[in-house]
């Protein structure tokens, strides 16, 4: 279903919700999208906010639901709930460095528990086979190691159970986001997966499409995911360079879509997006200050109008 090489939007908690996914999909069609990571344990408890996070909307782009946790049975049950929603596959988070997630044995903690990691992959695959005729993919996203890069051993374990895609963020758990992504480690995974049915995606520090294409060529990966460079720039997967006016319009559209999908949501959670949308605009610090006080879409519209007329008069 995917056409390789793939250039997709990386999963980001608090960012790649249904609203941002829809906006990115409309602006520049990445080859693949992911939900934010969602805890399987919380879904089993039927927490409404979490179920909402996995609400599917039809896109031109295949979407993977990303789950985290450490209990294979819970992965089985949650996969069963998702198989007929329209997702292209289930992605298992084995890389999150958040201490809270780590302490509960999920995310990057699975790097230290390869046997559990493999059981989870098998549980998800079994749940798909037991509960649907659809050919959903079983994929995962991880890091190069725990305290030091150990790609060879870690990825060798994972390949024993043949996930469809392994995405590797080229940093260890310890590094979190410091330093640079180590693409030589990702190359090690590419070599290991050669002649297997598992595809390898690389991830880390990709700034734009040119860089994405060069990395695919240089490191032989089957795809790459772009995360932070997409913040405030949903056009990143295409060739269009957005204007100041388009950025401001998109920020308003983001608010409107948010109200549509999350009428009960916390509007203030959009403020981080405001900073990203306006970061490259002239006099953006004034604009940011004002936007940090916005409590609804009308506030945002008024601030944008004021800014636009100020900018017009000052040129
Ligand atoms: C705000 C934020 C939230 C993130 N949430 C997730 C997540 O839910 N699942 C995941 O696998 N990775 C998550 N990541 C990691 C990114 O997907 C990606 O691996 C990382 O940012 C490196 O790629 P980049 O340099 O292109 O940003 C998150 C990163 C950021 C910045």
Distance CA 29, CA 61 (A): 7
Amino acid 87: pLDDT: 97
Calculate helix-pair angle for 114-131, 72-82, nearest 10 degrees: 30
| Residue 312 CA, ligand 1 centroid: distance in Å | 37
Per-residue pLDDT tens digits for 48-71 = 889 889 988 888 899 999 999 999
pTM for the whole structure: 0.97
Amino acid 48: pLDDT: 81
| Residue 12 CA, ligand 1 centroid: distance in Å | 5
Question: Which residue has its alpha carbon closest to ligand 1 atom 28?
Answer: 12
Per-residue pLDDT tens digits for 114-136 = 999 999 999 999 999 999 999 99
Which residues in the chain come in under a pLDDT of 50? none
Amino acid 58: pLDDT: 86
Q: Specify whether 255 is catalytic.
A: no
Question: Which residue has its alpha carbon closest to ligand 1 atom 4?
Answer: 12
Among 96, 190, 212, 215, the active-site one is 96
Distance CA 315, CA 96 (A): 46
Q: Helix, strand, or coil here: 310? A: helix
Question: Is any ligand 1 atom within 6 A of the Cβ of residue 93?
Answer: yes
| Residue 303 CA, ligand 1 centroid: distance in Å | 30
Amino acid 47: pLDDT: 87
Amino acid 259: pLDDT: 98
Name the one residue in this structure whose structure tokens are 């070599």: 191
């Amino acid at each position: 279903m995917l056409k390789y090489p793939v250039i997709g939007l990386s999963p980001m908690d608090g960012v790649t919700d249904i609203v941002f996914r829809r906006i990115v999909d409309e602006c520049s069609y990445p080859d693949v999208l992911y939900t934010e990571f969602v805890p399987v344990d919380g879904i089993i408890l039927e927490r409404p906010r979490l179920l909402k996070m996995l609400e599917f909307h039809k896109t031109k782009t295949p979407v993977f639901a990303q789950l985290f946790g450490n209990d294979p049975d819970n992965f089985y049950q949650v996969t069963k709930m998702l198989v007929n929603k329209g997702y292209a596959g289930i992605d298992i988070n084995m890389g999150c460095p958040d201490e809270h997630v780590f302490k509960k044995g999920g995310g990057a903690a699975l790097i230290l528990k390869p046997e559990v990691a493999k059981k989870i992959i098998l549980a998800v695959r079994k749940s798909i086979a037991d509960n649907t005729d659809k050919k959903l993919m079983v994929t995962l996203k991880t890091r190069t190691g725990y305290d030091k890069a150990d790609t060879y051993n870690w990825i060798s374990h994972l390949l024993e159970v043949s996930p469809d895609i392994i995405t590797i963020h080229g940093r260890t758990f310890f590094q979190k986001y410091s330093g640079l992504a180590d693409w030589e480690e990702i190359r090690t995974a590419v070599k290991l997966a050669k002649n297997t049915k598992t595809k390898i995606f690389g991830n880390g520090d990709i700034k734009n499409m040119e860089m994405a294409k060069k990395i695919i060529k240089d490191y032989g990966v089957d795809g790459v995911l772009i995360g932070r460079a997409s913040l405030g720039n949903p056009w990143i997967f295409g060739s269009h360079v957005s204007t100041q006016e388009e950025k401001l319009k998109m920020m308003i559209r983001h608010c409107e879509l948010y109200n549509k999908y999350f009428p009960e949501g916390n509007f203030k959670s959009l403020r981080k997006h405001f900073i990203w949308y306006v970061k490259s605009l002239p006099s953006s610090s004034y604009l940011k200050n004002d936007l940090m006080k916005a409590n609804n879409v009308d506030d945002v519209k008024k601030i944008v109008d004021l800014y636009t007329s100020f900018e017009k008069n000052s040129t």
